[in-house]
Amino acid sequence: MEGLILKEIAAALAIGLGALGPGIGIGLIGAKGVEALGRNPDAAAKIQTGMILAIAFAEAVAIYALVVAILIKFI
């Protein structure tokens, strides 16, 4: 019984802490992207491409954390 509770706490911590970094990172990427667009609207296509790529990499870290949390919970 105690092992089950510890597994649930570990899974919750894995996804909670694992999503914290990407959440902050995506927010910063969006803020700096909008700032860059405000400074140089002619470079919108290049800025948007870089933003989308950076957001995808940050989101991948959150997906890894989700996979780890699922593995902890069910294995």
The residue ranges of every structural domain in the chain are 2-74
pLDDT of residue 70: 95
**pTM score, two decimals?**
0.83
Confidence of residue 2 (pLDDT cuts 50, 70, 90): confident
11-52 pLDDT, tens digit each: 999 999 999 999 999 999 999 999 999 999 999 999 999 999
Helix segments in 40-75, DSSP class H: 44-74
Which structure tokens are listed for 24?
């902050």
pLDDT of residue 3: 79
Would you call 6 exposed, middle or buried from its count of C-beta atoms within 10 A (0-12, 13-18, 19+)?
A: exposed
Asked if 17 and 61 touch (Cβ cutoff 8 Å), the reply is: no
How far apart are alpha carbons 34 and 25 in whole angstroms?
14
Q: Tell me: domain 2-74, CATH 3.40.50.10470, correct?
A: no
